[in-house]
Chain A
Amino acid sequence: MTARAMIVGAGVASITRNTRRHTHDIALEACQAAAVDAGIDMEEIDGLATYPGRPVYEPDGATIAAILPLLSGARNVRWYAELSDGLVGSAVIEAVDAVAMGRCRYALVWRALNQPQYGPWNHQDWAGRDQFLGPYGYYRVIHDHAMAFTRYCALSSCSREDTARLAMAQRRNAALNPFAFFRDVELTFEDYIAAPMISDPLCRFDCDIPVQGGWAMVIAAADAPRRSAHPPAYVRAAAQQTSVMIGESLIYTLADHVDVGGAVCNVLYRESGLGPGDIQVAELYDGFSSSVYYWLEAAGFCGRGEGPAHVARMIEKYPDLLPINTHGGSLSEGRSHGMGHVVEAARQVFGTAESARQVAGVEAAIAFTGAPTYHSAGLILSRSPGR
């Protein structure tokens, strides 16, 4: 299918921790950077989309109501979508569909996050589904991921050496990304092995780093005039999945973490006419390191249980720049819930990643927002609009 939408600009706001910077200012910085990169004036922006929730919606979620008044010049908006669930990938897909349908021509999509401080839960009474979890001390997102990963490690040969290698390679990528929170902080094997476990087998360096950050893109109809200095990234396919819903079972099984990603990827490959062999860069949501293996397997880059061996082979082949999570991923760039992954995939296709981080000869990139199980969505971006 010929692409009906293209990403024409991408921007990242400075990524920080423990500052008093307001989420609205962060979102605005990312939006302005994306518009400048696209060469589009705010007057031309006629569509807006975001997902303002998670981690903390109120009081400073970067909603459309909050951000639109700050986008000086954006007086011609005729379409918008603000999602209450589904993470940011769904907002991106809404914008892709809106420009394809002619509801708007240039849609600005952003995601800005604050940095929540989660403590333990204090309530004594646990009702609904939680009545079967709370009495066992089981209630964090990481617990679900840790459970799946324990089983994955038992059924494959994945070891802490494997996850250390992955985290270290992403950190080396982050050193090439001027926006990455950990751009100047080396991660050694000794650092990884010495890091405290949070929920075994996931240690601190298997978890994304919560940041104050913002990411934005301008998505245009494929026939809209282009004004960027770089080529566009055509959206060859977009897909999301709802095959596993929260609350259906007590916990996510390993199958819930791996199989459902395959459903997203089947749509992406069918719609784009491309396959894993046509893709040079993979930006794989990594709220926890284990999700990188699940996405690699779901997307057919390797067989089931072969994620760790595949990563090891890729590191050997590409010691200077792993073409997986080239921006450092959320482990090392900062938690973006996948928006950083889509922005980085676009920049790799544009050819505008900073020189040492630019993968040579990128024709197509794949990006996922969310863990396979968790409101996930994916996109395939390409230099070519397809036929």
Chain B
Amino acid sequence: MIEELRYVSFLRTSARPVADELSAPFWDGAATGVLRIQQCAACRSLQHPPERFCRRCFGRDLAFASVNGAGTVYTYTTVRTPTVPGAEPPYTVVVVALDAQPDVLMLTAWEGEAPLWLTVGLHLEVAFDSAVPQFGPTAPVQTGSCS
């Protein structure tokens, strides 16, 4: 799967995520190539980042579910100014809405400017480049014709 995702180069930074009690299952999952998102036992709602309570029903019984890593581009920006250590601009940060529950938003970051084919609504798949989940296209993207 990772081989198929070489249409973009994922950004690598020196910014290390510090896992905590709430987020450890998320990062443990990512380290083994599984996308795990916090889920409310009562209303089944997914949420990210993880919280102590369900943001939908305020339930306190929360666990992590392995979810389908498919999503669509919600929006994106190309960053042109140095922001975090080890991240050389320009790079493009994309917000991905998960198909499993489209109000769950996650980030991915690609080296360089936004590709011409990058549009809101484009289909992406999760990939595990290092221990940080990323998203990219699974096939060459058809760019618009002149007709």
Partner-B contacts on A (CB < 8 A):
119-129, 131-140, 143, 146-148, 150-151, 154-155, 196-201, 248-251, 253-254
Once the chains bind, are B75 and A151 in contact (CB under 8 Å)? yes
Q: List 7 A-B contacts (CB under 8 A).
A: A119-B82, A121-B84, A121-B85, A136-B13, A147-B95, A148-B75, A254-B75
Which residues of B are at the interface with A, using a C-beta cutoff of 8 A? 11, 13-20, 23, 48-49, 55, 74-85, 87, 91, 93, 95, 105-109, 114, 119-120, 132
Q: A126-B16, A131-B23, A154-B119 are in contact. Are A120 and B84 (CB under 8 A)?
A: yes
A64 to chain B minimum Cβ distance, whole angstroms, is 34
Q: Which residues of B contact A196 (CB under 8 A)?
A: 80
Whether A199 pairs with B13 at a CB distance below 8 angstroms is no
Assembly CA distance A138 to B107 (angstroms) = 9
Are the C-beta atoms of A132 and B49 separated by less than 8 Å? yes
List of A residues within 8 angstroms of B95 by Cβ: 147, 251
Inter-chain contact B83/A131, CB cutoff 8 Å: no
Q: Is the CB of A250 within 8 A of B107?
A: yes
Q: Quick check: A136 and B48 within 8 Å, CB to CB?
A: no
Q: Are A135 and B80 in contact (CB under 8 A)?
A: no
A120 near B85: Cβ-Cβ < 8 Å: yes
Complex interface: chain A residues within 8 A of B75 (CB): 147-148, 150-151, 154, 254
Q: Are A137 and B91 in contact, with the CB atoms below 8 A?
A: yes
Min distance, Cβ A221 to any Cβ of chain B, angstroms: 42
Complex CA gap A248/B54 in Å reads 11
A151 to chain B, nearest CB (A): 4
Whether A135 and B119, one on each chain, are in contact in the complex, defined by CB atoms closer than 8 angstroms, is no
In the complex with contacts A121-B84, A129-B49, A250-B48, A134-B77 CB distance below 8 A: no
* Interface residue from B23, B107, B120 paired with A136 (Cβ < 8 Å): B107
Which of A120, A125, A128, A155 is the one whose CB lies under 8 Å from B16?
Answer: A125
Q: Which residues of A contact B74 (CB under 8 A)?
A: 151, 253
Having A134-B15, A138-B107, A250-B48, one finds 14 other A-B pairs with CB under 8 Å, namely A125-B18, A126-B16, A127-B18, A131-B18, A132-B49, A135-B132, A137-B79, A137-B83, A147-B77, A147-B93, A198-B80, A200-B77, A250-B107, A253-B105
